[in-house]
Amino acid sequence: MQVMILAESKRMKQIVVIGGGGFLRDSRDLRLEKYILKQAGKKNPSVCFIPTASGESAEYIVKFYSAFGRLGCRTSHLSVFRPPTADLESFI
């Protein structure tokens, strides 16, 4: 399961959970990603990828940055196995 968190929305913040598909399956077909971004209601939303289902596969992380970078997002990913900080709430 992939988890993407949309931040900086003027609407209620939401977490979008995906059980496969999307950029991991076909990086040329980004309809699902475009739908997710539309929910943010912003031109250049921030998107954080939490790749725990893949064991934080470097290949999946690269695919995430490639797909969402092409869509004009500010991207980041959160390693749960090697967190960048103890204050995860601030990171998100």
Please, are residues 24 and 2 in contact by the beta-carbon 8 Å criterion?
yes
Measured between alpha carbons, how far is 68 from 58 in angstroms, rounded to an integer?
16
The two three-digit tokens of residue 46, written as one number: 């921030």
Q: What is the pLDDT of residues 4-33, one digit of tens each?
A: 555 544 556 677 777 766 776 766 788 888
Note the pTM of the prediction, 2 decimals. Answer: 0.73
Instruction: Dump pLDDT digits (tens) for 32-85.
Output: 888 888 888 888 888 888 888 778 889 889 988 988 888 988 999 988 888 877
